[in-house]
Amino acid sequence: MEIVAALFVDHLAMRQVPGPATRIDLTGVYFSLAAPAPVPVTIEPHLVVLIRCPGDASANGVLETVFVRGDDELARNVQPVDIEPGKFGYRLVRSELTFDDYGSVEARCRVDHGHVVTVPLTLLPPAG
């Protein structure tokens, strides 16, 4: 299995189209957000990871996402992935991230021990 994309999103919806085929509608894709309150603050961003399972691959794997700031691990999420060979799937990753200061974290995603896909997220001061 391999990761096709990983993004922070506000909303994800699935819909069928002729074929039959499936569409994934992602809205509110972001790489930064304003803090809901002054720091320290805890946020729960939604990370969607799109995964492809080649036709000759095993249908079972493990998605690991590690949230880091510098050398510090802030959170880790590990979940099973079952995708039919030759198909695509997705997983939602939610974690509580506590920020003591504004700045960036990275979500480092990989399936099994494969290639790491890194997605940055920057917390900005509250608007206003």
What are the CA-CA distances from residue 79 to residues 46, 62, 63, 110, 112 (Å)? 15, 6, 5, 11, 10
- CATH class of the domain comprising 2-124: mainly beta
CA separation for the pair 15, 25 (Å, rounded): 8
Residue of 24, 63, 45 lying closest to 106 (CA atoms): 45
Q: Has residue 29 got a pLDDT over 80? A: yes
| Spatial distance between the Cα atoms of 68 and 74, rounded to a whole number of angstroms | 5
Closest among 40, 34, 33, 47 to 5, alpha carbons compared? 47
Q: Report residue 20's pLDDT band, with 50, 70 and 90 as the boundaries.
A: confident
3-state secondary structure of 97: strand
Counting residues of the chain whose pLDDT is more than 70, the rounded percentage is: 100
pLDDT band at 127 (very low <50, low <70, confident <90, very high): confident
Instruction: Determine the Cα–Cα distance for residues 100 and 41; give it in Å rounded to an integer.
Output: 7
